[in-house]
Structure 1
Amino acid sequence: MKNLLAVGALMLQAGLVHAANLPSPVSHDTFPEPDMARVKLGQQLFYDPILSGNKNISCATCHHPKFGSADGVSLSIGEGGIGLGPDRKLPNGVKVENRVPRNAPALWNVGALEYISQFHDGRVEVESDATFGFMTPRNRPLDRLMPSSLSVQALMPLLSQDEMAGVEGENPVADAVDRGNERKGWKILAERVDAIPEYRKQFDALIGADKPVHITDIAIAMAEFINFEFQACESPFDAYLAGDETALNDAEKRGMDLFYGKADCADCHSGTFLSDQDFHAIGVPQFGPGKGDQEEDDRPYVDLGREMVTGDPRDSYRFRTPALRNVALTAPYGHSGAFPTLEGMVRHHLDPVKSLVHYDRKQAILQDVDVIDDWQAYDEGLEVAFIAAAIELEPIALSDSEVDDILAFLNALTDKEAAKGRLGIPETVPSGLPVDR
């Protein structure tokens, strides 16, 4: 009898700890109240190639609903390519300087109020001491107040050579960026939008007919759309958190118990969106062009992650903990998109050093383009050793059935209705340029 009571007490204690670890249900109140006029304007701008230097790529090209708000490849072909996702390629005779150096992050819930920083390395971040309230890269200075980190983030890809701007000599936006005149590049894009009557009419109602469209007006509208369109808060897990104990099946409940217990997933994947909104080194293999200067750096193929923002060596190889709503829709995984399946990403966590050292590069989803060697970082044994030395995770032993249960739980984080899109893809955009469908 005493043994039974002891077991019962332990079970009760475990249950209380488990309940304490579970987040509150996500709701639409977790997000800013949408301004629907800006949301609808932002939808058009998000899908309109007018905001790229050569008018050939939109934000949606690499953040497409077809691929769970990302693009289904490890490292994108951005500016210059045609097509979507793994089918994206370069037209005959067209060359690009390089791939985009990091995996296109999914957009689920990034407009939530708790998001005070953006990007894999958090290089856009709320900063009370900053002139306009946000830290940004030195070559991307703000000149107006912005309402959210997401609206600031929306500005950045527009001037990225590999993502949307193109290279010097191709267009005035790229030329301005090459000369170090980023404000001029943004101004050119804003003037393009301002000159389109259908856009101007919508902006008249928002900013007044007497004011020219500013690039921040465009970014704010796109952020409003992203916040509205990519809210995922009605998954089976959310229903369970709201009190419906039948919302999860037995395997999903076992996976949830492992996630918040033995597997230690919630040490980092905690809180409302299953992210501590912090940065950690977990040893994801590095490949691609890296984040250094191809002309100045001895090792440009390296990516130091958060250290490139903070300058603190303790932040070497740390990247943001990704939020997990709709994670089953957003493969491949990791800052370099190294793992094409969710199971592969989960198993990497079990023994990151072993996974890093024995990584099968065939897992990388990379289109065949003529760029610099993608594998310089991985082929440099010392760099792999540095990444391994920074790893924060301890190995953990889980059985195959336990991994299966965790995967079942992660799939229960899928909001199927959100994945369909709230506004969806517009048939046309005011510029008349083609929409990536």
Structure 2
Amino acid sequence: MKKTYSFAALLLLPILLSQIGCQQETLNPLDEQLIQQMKTSSYGEGVSYYQLPDSDDLENIPQDPKNPLTAEKIELGKLIYHETAFAVDVKFSGSMKAISCATCHHAAAGFQAGMAQGIADGGTGFGVQGEGRVVDPLCPLDSIDVQETRTPSLLNVAYQKVMRWNGSMGATGSNLGTEARWVGPAFSKNHLGFEGVETQSIVALKGHRQNMDPAVIQGTTYKDLFDAAFPTVPVAERYTNKMAGLAIAAYSRTVMANKAPFQEWVRGNYTAMTDQQKQGALLFFGEAGCYRCHNGPSLATEGFHAFGTKDLYQNTSAPIYNTSIDSIETLGRGGFTGNAADMYRFKVPQLYNVRDSPFEGHGGSFGSVRAMVDYKNKGIAENPNVPANRLSPMFVPLGLTEEQVDQIADFIDNALHDDYLDRYVPSSLPTGACFPNADAQSKIDLGCN
């Protein structure tokens, strides 16, 4: 039968053909090369191997089967994560009800700290991206809450089975077989059987001096939020740090940089990246071999490597407190497992939004992504305390030109940067408190009453 077309359809035909032509034109030779290169780097799976799911696509977000994701749990976790009113076990009176998880992992800094060493209890101020936080002069230095390694990013943690730079948090993945090391207040929480995101979230509440204050829960909508998130949990166990930690973990798993230009490109928008960024991606997934460690949707594998970077106590870019050469944290994975082969090996970090806080590496010793790429390219260890025979066999000179280093840095800095992380931040809290900090100086910096 002969097909007939309406007059309206004939009018639309040139427009449709024009759109098809534009779509074809956006796939240039660089895109074609990159698609082929990523098929190789993904071991045959192709571009889709690198796609992050939407944050409300709960079925496709990796999750702990012991802590299934629900919208109610995620909403509760988002609020507790930013809530300052639960900071009731602080050592410094000025931090009472004034700090939160987001104090050191906030959206403005790519869910990292905005400084080389995050300061929770005992700190004051915020600045613009958290860079203005300092130790309160009235707080004794032995009372401040700081960590002995650089604050890692919360972004894309759904793809991590274990947490912390040494991978010590979590009962699954690479921690299977390390049960003998699960002793002490923090490590013993691995016996709960959760993955790293859940374990770390439970441990962090107490470790960072927060507690589910019954007065706060009962006096606000938090009670209803807990009830909705954990309807089958006995009331006696429902409003606890454990449940709060599970809610925070659920929220954390949804915090993904899935609106970065590279993610748009992966979804088929071939104009989302510049040609220079595509050149950088070609190197990243090809000649430079970055994908050997940084692979998958979050561009972070579960591996641990010794690249001889400096430890936090060696950082000279900012004041560093309460860490030293004698810290077990300087031994990396080996400090946790006790295995000689693991000494000085640190967890592979994810690579999205790293430019938001210019302190790269577990010791925060690099002031930019380009400096880190240049360091990897030269392949010369900067930390004299790391024996040469402990360095990763992948830490060798790459022979890249200055232009190629620039291209890779552009890809990481800009194509992997999600400009819209504020979507993960609540507009307000059930308590009405300021966040992520509520000390006097932070309120001024944040314009919060």
Q: TM-score, normalised by structure 2?
A: 0.72
Q: Secondary structure at the match of 1:288?
A: helix
1:215 aligns with 2:241: yes
Q: Are the counterparts in 2 of residues 127 and 134 from structure 1 also a CA contact under 8 Å? A: no
Please list, as runs of the form range in 1=range in 2, the aligned pairs for 1:201-240 lying within 5 A after superposition. 201-208=224-231, 210-212=235-237, 213-228=239-254, 230-240=255-265
2:363 is aligned with what amino acid?
A: S
Amino acid at match of 1:49: T
Which residue is 1:422 aligned to? 423
Query: Quick one: distance in 2 between partners of 1:134 and 1:301?
Result: 17
8 Å contact from structure 2 (residues 148, 329) kept in 1: no
Q: What is the aligned partner in structure 1 of residue 29 from structure 2? A: none
Amino acid at match of 1:205: A
- Structure-2 change in CA distance of 1:257 and 1:83 (3 Å): same
Q: Give runs of aligned pairs for residues 40-119 of structure 1, distance below 5 A.
A: 40-52=75-87, 53-54=89-90, 55=96, 56-84=98-126, 85-97=130-142, 99-110=146-157, 112=158, 114-119=159-164
Give 1:319 shift: 0.8
> What amino acid maps onto 2:156 in structure 1?
N
Tell me, yes or no, if the aligned pair for 2:124 and 2:135 is still in contact at 8 Å. Answer: yes
3-state SS of 2:154 partner: coil
Distance 1:432 1:307 in 2: 41
Q: CA deviation at 1:138?
A: 3.2
Q: Which residue of 1 aligns with 2:40?
A: 20
**1:100-249 equivalent positions in 2, closer than 5 A:** 100-110=147-157, 112=158, 114-127=159-172, 138-140=184-186, 141-142=188-189, 148-160=195-207, 164-165=208-209, 189=212, 191=214, 194-208=217-231, 210-212=235-237, 213-228=239-254, 230-249=255-274
State the alpha-carbon separation in 2 of the partners of residues 78 and 347 from structure 1. Answer: 32
In 1, distance between residues paired with 2:327 and 2:307?
21
Q: State the number of aligned residues.
A: 365
Residue of structure 2 equivalent to 1:365: none
Post-superposition Cα deviations, 1:90-110, rounded to whole Å, max 9, x if no partner, equal 333222226421111111111
What amino acid maps onto 1:125 in structure 2?
A: G
- Equivalent pair of 1:44/1:426 in contact (CA under 8 Å): no
CA gap 1:423/1:252 in 2 versus in 1, 3 angstroms = closer
Measured against aligned partners, the alpha-carbon deviations of 1:133-173 in whole angstroms (never above 9, x if no partner) come to 9985532333985664312111222333xxx23xxxxxxx8
Inter-partner Cα distance in structure 2 for 1:14 and 1:226: 31
CA contact (8 A) 2:369 2:409 kept: yes
Cα 1:51–1:313 change in 2 (3 A) is: farther
Offset of residue 287 of structure 1 = 3.4
Unpaired runs of at least 5, structure 1? 1-11, 166-172, 174-187, 358-383
Q: 1:344 to 1:62 in 2, by over 3 A?
A: same
Indicate conservation of the 8 Å contact 2:149/2:311, yes or no: no
Q: Judging changes above 3 Å, is the alpha-carbon distance between structure 1 residues 13 and 100 closer, same or farther for their aligned structure 2 residues? A: closer
Aligned to 1:279: 304
Instruction: Give CA-to-partner distance per residue, 1:160-204, whole Å, 9 cap, x none.
Output: 3xxx23xxxxxxx8xxxxxxxxxxxxxx64656555443223223
Q: Indicate the larger mover: 26-35 or 54-63.
A: 26-35
Are residues 118 and 134 of structure 1, via their aligned partners in 2, closer, same or farther at CA, if it must alter by over 3 Å?
Answer: farther
TM-superposed CA distance for 1:304, in Å, is 0.3
**C-alpha displacement of 1:333:** 0.8
Q: Which amino acid aligns with 1:321?
A: V
- Give the counterpart letter for 1:157 in structure 2: A
> Does residue 310 of the first structure (1) align with residue 337 of the second (2)?
yes
Instruction: Quickly say closer, same or farther: Cα 1:17–1:254, change in 2 above 3 A.
Output: closer
- CA, structure 1 residues 217+130, in 2 after alignment: closer, same or farther (shift >3 Å)? farther
Aligned 8 A contact 1:41 1:221 in 2: yes
Name the counterpart of 1:412: 415
Gap change, CA 1:287 and 1:135, over 3 Å in 2: closer
CA RMSD in angstroms, aligned pairs only: 3.4
Change (3 A) 1:137 1:108: farther
CA contact (8 A) 1:48 1:58 kept: yes
Conservation of the 8 A alpha-carbon contact between 1:190 and 1:215: no
- Deviation, structure 1 residue 387: 4.9
Sort the Cα spacing of 1:51 and 1:143 in 2 relative to 1 into closer, same or farther, 3 A. farther
Change over 3 Å in CA distance of 1:17–1:214 after alignment to 2: same
Opposite residue 309 of structure 2, the aligned amino acid is V
Report the alpha carbon displacement of residue 41 of structure 1 after superposing the two structures with TM: 1.5
What's the offset of the Cα at 1:88? Answer: 0.9
Cα deviation for residue 13 of structure 1 reads 10
1:7-62 CA-to-partner distances (Å, cap 9, x unmatched) read: xxxxx999855532145222232445742222222122111234432233210000
* Cα deviation, residue 423, structure 1: 4.0
Q: Which residue of 1 aligns with 2:399?
A: 397
Amino-acid identity (%): 24
Q: Is the 8 A contact 1:252 1:412 kept in 2?
A: yes
Question: What is the 5 A alignment of 1:267-416?
Answer: 267-288=292-313, 299-300=326-327, 303-353=330-380, 356=382, 384-392=384-392, 393-410=395-412, 411-416=414-419
Give the distance between the partners of 1:247 and 1:434, measured in 2 at CA: 33
Q: 1:278 to 1:94 in 2, by over 3 A?
A: same
CA distance in 2, matches of 1:118, 1:319: 11
Consecutive unaligned residues in structure 2, runs of 5 or more: 1-31, 55-59, 91-95, 316-321, 438-445
Q: In 2, Cα distance between the equivalents of 1:404 and 1:143?
A: 42
Alpha-carbon offset, residue 75 of structure 1: 1.4
Secondary structure in 2 matching 1:255: helix
Equivalent pair of 1:194/1:200 in contact (CA under 8 Å): yes
Does the CA contact (< 8 Å) of 2:280 and 2:407 recur in 1?
A: yes
